[in-house]
Amino acid sequence: MIEKLQRIWRGLTGRDTTYPHELAFVLTSPLRNLILSPAALASCLSLEEVPAARELRLADAR
C-alpha cells in the first residue's frame, strides 16, 4: 500500500516518467480548468507534431 502511494506521488511530482493512472480523473475534472487550462497543460507536455492525422471508420457490415 505504501509503495503504491509512493509510486503515485513520484508520478504526480514529475520524478517518474508516467502520470499515475489512478489520478486520471483529475485530468477530466471541470474543476481542473480553474487551476490549469487545457492550453497551459498542453504547453507543459513534451508533445511532437505529427505530419497528418488519420480517421478510421468501420464500414457497415450489412
Helices (H), 1-62: 2-13, 24-27, 32-35, 38-44
Residue corresponding to grid cell 457490415: 61
What's the pLDDT score for residue 19? 72
pLDDT tens, the chain, 62 aa long: 888 888 777 776 765 567 777 778 877 888 888 888 888 877 877 667 777 767 777 776 55
In a domain, 19, yes or no: yes
Structural domain range at position 25:
2-41
Work out how many domains the chain is built from and give that number. Answer: 1
User: Rounded to an integer, what distance in angstroms lies between the CA atom of residue 47 and that of residue 5?
Assistant: 27
In a domain, residue 47? The reply is no
Does any domain span residue 26? yes
**Does residue 15 fall inside a structural domain?**
yes
User: Looking at the whole model, is its pTM more than 0.95?
Assistant: no
Residue 8 lies in a domain: yes
Pairwise CA distance, residues 54 & 59, whole Å: 16
Predicted local confidence at residue 15, as pLDDT: 55
What integer pLDDT is reported at residue 61 of this predicted model? 57
